[in-house]
């Protein structure tokens, strides 16, 4: 029994019409904590608890922390999450609702993470939001589920932040013998650390995160994501904040599911029209996100 659920895989007529190809949605926004993060985080938490961990410590701008809080509650293990000052009030409210102790520190995830590291005692387990092989193995179950249905896409479209989802999806593709299925990795301008690594030929740190898609806000992508770009067909695309936000609005109308801008980045590629038209059938990872409200998305859209 896993902490994550097997999420629906559905065809979307609305996105298919926009993208000029068949679009299947893997609806990980429907995970109990609101995002795909529960796959990897839940797996890591179960492994650490089996080894005797008495407390989980994490650092997060939102979704990873929510997954740790949910996992801790289900496993009966106390949770501490250090979040940066940029974290929304909604995210902090959801963390506390799941029983986590919330500590606010620093202006970025990096600063929150530095404090979190100092809190880890000998009986604690640190749950990284994206850079951990345990996470990637958990996230790979998404592709296992798709493969078990007998459906094989021509390409997979997903959003990239720190690279945990990308690493997990590629691991899943490869362990299912789908080395030939390319991944289209999408980021927003101002949070495009994977794209910066591709251009530089190595992982590099962004000076600052300026995108509203704060869930994509890792200044440097994990080494594993960059390494996979050398061995697996991965295309890096960058969209604007406005395109990601507009995609959130359209997706809410089309599928009646609210996602945050980090997820909207991948959806924006389908709504652009021609970006996916060279494929016959694509799998869109709807990674979700529980920290943005519709009111906030509308307010961001209204900004000049």
* Domains annotated on the chain, with CATH: 9-36+134-302 (3.40.50.1100), 37-129 (3.40.50.1100)
* Residue 292 pLDDT: 83
CA distances from 238 to 137, 139, 224, 279, 288 (A): 26, 23, 20, 19, 19
* Calpha distance 185→218 (Å, rounded): 15
* Calpha distance 15→168 (Å, rounded): 24
Asked if residue 33 lies in contact with residue 66, where contact means CB atoms within 8 angstroms, the answer is yes
Per-residue pLDDT of the chain (304 residues; tens, 9 = 90+): 899 999 999 999 999 999 999 999 999 999 999 999 999 999 999 999 999 999 999 998 789 999 999 999 999 999 999 998 888 888 899 999 999 999 999 988 889 999 999 999 999 999 999 999 999 999 999 999 999 999 999 999 999 999 999 999 999 999 999 999 999 999 999 999 999 999 999 999 998 888 888 777 788 999 999 999 999 999 999 999 999 999 999 999 999 999 999 999 999 999 998 889 999 999 999 999 888 899 999 999 998 7
Asked if residue 103 lies in contact with residue 82, where contact means CB atoms within 8 angstroms, the answer is yes
* Calpha distance 59→80 (Å, rounded): 8
The secondary element (H helix, E strand) that includes residue 227 is helix 223-231
CA distances from 47 to 82, 124, 190 (A): 21, 13, 35
Question: Can you give the length of the chain in residues?
Answer: 304
Extract long-range pairs of 117-120: CB within 8 Å, 24+ residues apart: 117/59, 119/57, 119/80, 119/82, 120/57
| Exposed/middle/buried for residue 300 (C-beta within 10 Å: 0-12, 13-18, 19+) | middle
Determine the 3-state secondary structure of 302 from DSSP.
helix
* Residue 254 pLDDT: 97
* Residue 55 pLDDT: 98
* Calpha distance 179→171 (Å, rounded): 9
Pair of tokens at residue 39 = 């796959």
Pair of tokens at residue 235 = 């295309």
* Residue 1 pLDDT: 83
* Residue 209 pLDDT: 84
């Amino acid at each position: 029994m896993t902490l994550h659920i097997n999420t629906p895989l559905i065809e979307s007529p609305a996105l298919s019409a926009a993208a000029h190809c068949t679009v299947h949605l893997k609806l990980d926004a429907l995970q109990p904590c609101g995002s795909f993060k529960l796959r990897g985080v839940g797996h890591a938490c179960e492994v650490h608890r089996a080894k005797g961990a008495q407390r989980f410590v994490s650092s997060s701008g939102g979704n990873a922390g929510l997954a740790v809080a949910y996992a801790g509650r289900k496993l009966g293990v106390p949770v501490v999450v250090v979040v940066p000052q940029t974290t929304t009030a909604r995210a902090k409210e959801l963390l506390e609702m799941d029983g986590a102790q919330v500590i606010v520190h620093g202006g970025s995830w990096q600063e929150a993470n530095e404090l979190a590291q100092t809190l880890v005692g000998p009986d604690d387990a640190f749950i990284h939001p994206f850079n951990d092989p345990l996470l990637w193995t958990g996230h790979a179950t998404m592709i296992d589920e798709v493969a078990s249905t007998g459906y094989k896409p021509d390409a997979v479209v997903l959003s990239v932040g720190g690279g945990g989802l990308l690493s997990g999806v590629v691991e899943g593709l490869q362990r299912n013998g789908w080395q030939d299925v390319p991944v289209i990795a999408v980021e927003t301008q101002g949070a495009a650390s994977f794209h910066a690594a591709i251009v530089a030929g190595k992982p590099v740190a962004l000076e600052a995160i300026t995108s509203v898609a704060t869930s994509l806000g890792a200044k440097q992508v994990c080494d594993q994501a960059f390494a996979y770009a050398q061995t697996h067909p991965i295309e890096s695309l960058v969209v604007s904040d406005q395109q990601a936000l507009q995609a959130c609005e359209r997706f809410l109308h089309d599928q009646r599911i609210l996602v945050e801008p980090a997820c909207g980045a991948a959806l924006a590629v389908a709504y652009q029209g021609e970006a996916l038209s060279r494929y016959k059938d694509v799998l869109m990872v709807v990674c979700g996100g529980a920290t943005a409200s519709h009111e906030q998305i509308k307010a961001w859209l209204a900004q000049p």
